Structure 1
Amino acid sequence: MTKVDIISGFLGAGKTTFIKQLIEQVFTGEKLVLIENEFGEIGIDGGFLKDAGIEITEMNSGCICCTLVGDFSKALQKVLEEYKPDRVLIEPSGVGKLSDIVKAIEDVKKDAEIEISGRITVVDGKKAVLYLKNFGEFFEDQVKHASTIVISRTQMMSGEKIEECVHILREENAEAAIISTPWDELSGEAVCRALDHGAEIEEFLQNHSEHEGECGCGHHHEHEGECGCGHHHHGHHHHHADEIFTSWGKETAHKYTDEELDFLLKALSETEGYGTILRSKGIIPMADGTWKQFDLVPEEYEVREGKADYTGRVCVIGTDLKEEELLKLFHI
C-alpha cells in the first residue's frame, strides 16, 4: 500500500521548504516520489529538489485541481507503476483547492493500492488574515480540508500574533493538528507526532463532504451576492484557479544590475502598478557574471545566490496583471 501525502498551501507559504524538512527528517529511508504542479508556465523550483534525489513530474501547463484532474490521475498512476514508491508527496499549485486534489486521488484509488496518509496545509502566519479576506474561496478550502496545518514564519511573529493566527485557523478547522512552533526548533519526532495526530482525523475527513447550497468557501449562505470567499457570485458556484489568478512567465537574457533587481522587487512588493502580485520568483543573470534567485510574496522578498541556467526565467502570479508594464519592469 503506497501512502500519499498532500502538502498544500497558498502561494509562497513555504511548502517547498517544509517538504525538504519532511524528506530529511521524517520520511528518511522511504522510497519517495514527489509530484509537484506549478501554476504557471515556468517551473523554477525543480532543480532545487532534484538534489535530494527525488523524481519530479512538473506539470506546468495548468493546475492539478482544475484543468489537469484527468492528467493528474494518469501521472499518479504512472508514478505508482514505474517507481513503486513507499510514499508519494504531492505538492499542488498554491492556488489549488485541496478538496479537488483529494477527489482526484480518490479516483485513482479505485485502480491502485494507495491511501491518503495526510493532508498538510502550510499557512504563512503573517498573511493568513490578508488571504482569508481576499482569496477566501481558495485559502479557506486548503485550511478547512487539512488534517495537519503548519504555520510558517512564526519565528518572525509575536506570541500574541501566533495565538491570533491559530484562533483564525481554528474557526475554519476545529480538528486539525496545528504546528505553531518555528520549524527549525522542531525535531523529526515532533513533526511526526503532529502528522500522526493529523492521520487520526483523516478518517473523519474522508467521511466529510460538502453539501449542496454551500459556496466554494464552505459556508452556507442565505443570500445571493457576496459570499465569504470575497468574490461576488451570481448564485453559488465554484471558481477555478485560472478564472481568477493569472500566471505570467518569461525567459530573459537581460543581465540585471543590483540596482535594477532591487528596484523591480520593491516595485512588485510595494506598488499597485503591476496588478495584485501574490507571488513572484525567478532565476536571473547579473551584470557582474553571477546568478541570483529571488522569491517574493506581498510586502516581502528574499534574494539568494543561484546557479547558472541556460537563460534567465521569471514568473509572476496574481490577479489583474499588467503584462505590458511587467515587460518594461523586467527589461524584456
Structure 2
Amino acid sequence: MTKTNLITGFLGSGKTTTILHLLANKPANERWAVLVNEFGEVGIDGALLADSGAVLKEIPGGCMCCVNGLPMQVGLNTLLRQVKPDRLLIEPTGLGHPKQILDMLTAEVYQPWIDLRATLCLLDPRQLLDDRIRQDDNFRDQLAACDIIVANKADREDSASRQALADWLSAHRDQRHVVATTRGVIENALLDTPRATDRTLPDSPAHQHSHSSPRGLGALSLPEHQRWRRSVNQGQGYYACGWIFDSDTVFDTVGVLEWARQAPVGRIKGVLRIPEGLVRINRQGEDFHIETQNAAPPDSRVEAINGQETDWNPLQSSLLKLRLS
C-alpha cells in the first residue's frame, strides 16, 4: 500500500515550497510521487517540481473536485499501478475543496492501494485578516478537513496575524496540532501522523470553471514551431492567465523581475529562462521570492491570478517586450 497525504492550503500559502522541502529530505531508499493540480492551465508547479526526484503527474486547469471524474482517477491510477510509490503527495489547487478528494481516496476501490495518512493544510495566518479569504468556502473547509495546520511564513507574521490565528483556534475549539514554520520547512515525520476518521467534513460548494482550452492529464505544451501561447481560466471569483514560451525564448533578468513585482494582480508564479540560466518567481501580494539557477528549464512559463476580472493584454504586451531572442 502507498502511504498517501493530502497537502492543502489556499492560494499563496506555500504548498509547493513545502512539498519541495519534503522531497529533498525523503528517505533515499523510497520512491515518492506527486499528483498536482493547479487552477491555471500551464503547469507552473509541475515545472517547479520537475527536478525534485519524485514521479510527477499533473492535472491542470481547475480543482480536483471539479475534475475528479476521469482525469483525477486516471492520474491517480497511473501512479498507483504503474509507479507503485512508497509515498504519494497530492497537492490540490489553492481553490480546491478537500471533501470529494478525501471521499475518493477513502473509497472501497482504493482500500487495497492507499494508506491514507494525515492531511496537512498550509496557512499564512495573515489570510485570516482578509475578509474575502476568511469567508471563502474552500479556505474554511481546507482548515476544517486537515489533521495538521502548518502556519507558514512565520518570518512575515506580526502581532495582528498571531492574534488572528489564536482567535480562530479558540473560536473553533480546535485542538489540532499547529506547526509554525518559514518557507515550508517541516519534519517529514509529520506525514505519518494518523488521519482522524471521526471528523465530519462540509460538503463541497457548487462552483464552475471556464477554460480557454480543453483540460487534459498534463500541463499545457506548445505545438511544433509555435513560439508562445496564452491560456486563461476563471472560477469561484478568481481569474488566471498563463503564458508558455519555447526553449529558445530568453527574458531580460531585471526586466522580468520588475514585471512580476509590479504586475497589478494578486499572484504571479513562474519559471523562466534568463541569460544566467533560470529564475523561479513566486509573488503573493507584496511577498516576493526569487531563486536563480545556472541550469536552464526546457521552456518558460508564468502565470498570473487575480481576484477580479482583468484585462490581460497590457500585462502580456509588457511581458513580450522583455524577450531577448
- Unaligned runs of 5+ residues in structure 1 are 217-236, 272-276
Deviation at 1:125, TM superposition (A): 2.6
Q: Tell me, in whole angstroms, the C-alpha distance in 2 between the residues paired with 1:12 and 1:149.
A: 15
> 1:313 pairs with 298, 301, 313, which one?
301
Deviation at 1:97, TM superposition (A): 0.9
Give 1:284's aligned residue.
272
When normalised by structure 2's length, the TM-score is: 0.77
Q: Tell me, in whole angstroms, the C-alpha distance in 2 between the residues paired with 1:331 and 1:185.
A: 35
Give 1:231's aligned residue.
none
**Relative to 1, partners in 2 of residues 1:195 and 1:44: Cα closer, same or farther, differing over 3 Å?**
closer
Q: Does 1:203 align with 2:214?
A: no
Percentage identity across paired residues of the two chains: 23
Deviation at 1:204, TM superposition (A): 1.9
Q: Tell me, in whole angstroms, the C-alpha distance in 2 between the residues paired with 1:315 and 1:71.
A: 22
CA contact (8 A) 1:279 1:298 kept: yes
**Relative to 1, partners in 2 of residues 1:251 and 1:210: Cα closer, same or farther, differing over 3 Å?**
closer
Q: Tell me, in whole angstroms, the C-alpha distance in 2 between the residues paired with 1:183 and 1:304.
A: 13
CA contact (8 A) 2:153 2:181 kept: no
Give 2:290's aligned residue.
303
Q: Does 1:102 align with 2:89?
A: no
Choose 128-137 or 84-93, whichever is displaced more: 128-137
> 1:265 pairs with 260, 280, 292, which one?
260
CA contact (8 A) 2:48 2:271 kept: no
Q: Tell me, in whole angstroms, the C-alpha distance in 2 between the residues paired with 1:173 and 1:312.
A: 46
When normalised by structure 1's length, the TM-score is: 0.75
Give 2:6's aligned residue.
6
Q: Secondary structure at the match of 2:100?
A: helix
CA contact (8 A) 1:73 1:107 kept: no
Q: Tell me, in whole angstroms, the C-alpha distance in 2 between the residues paired with 1:171 and 1:109.
A: 37
Deviation at 1:290, TM superposition (A): 4.4
CA contact (8 A) 2:21 2:185 kept: no
1:295 alignment partner AA? N
Report which of the two has the higher share of helix: 1
Q: Secondary structure at the match of 1:118?
A: coil
Give 2:149's aligned residue.
149
Q: Tell me, in whole angstroms, the C-alpha distance in 1 between the residues paired with 2:184 and 2:240.
A: 32
> 2:244 pairs with 245, 251, 259, which one?
251
* CA distances 1:115-169 after superposition (whole Å, capped 9, x unpaired): 3211111112333322754661121111111111101111232466334324325
Q: Which has the higher contact order (CA 8 A, sep 6+)?
A: 2
**Relative to 1, partners in 2 of residues 1:26 and 1:322: Cα closer, same or farther, differing over 3 Å?**
same
Q: Secondary structure at the match of 1:40?
A: coil
Give 1:85's aligned residue.
85
Q: Tell me, in whole angstroms, the C-alpha distance in 1 between the residues paired with 2:314 and 2:163.
A: 40
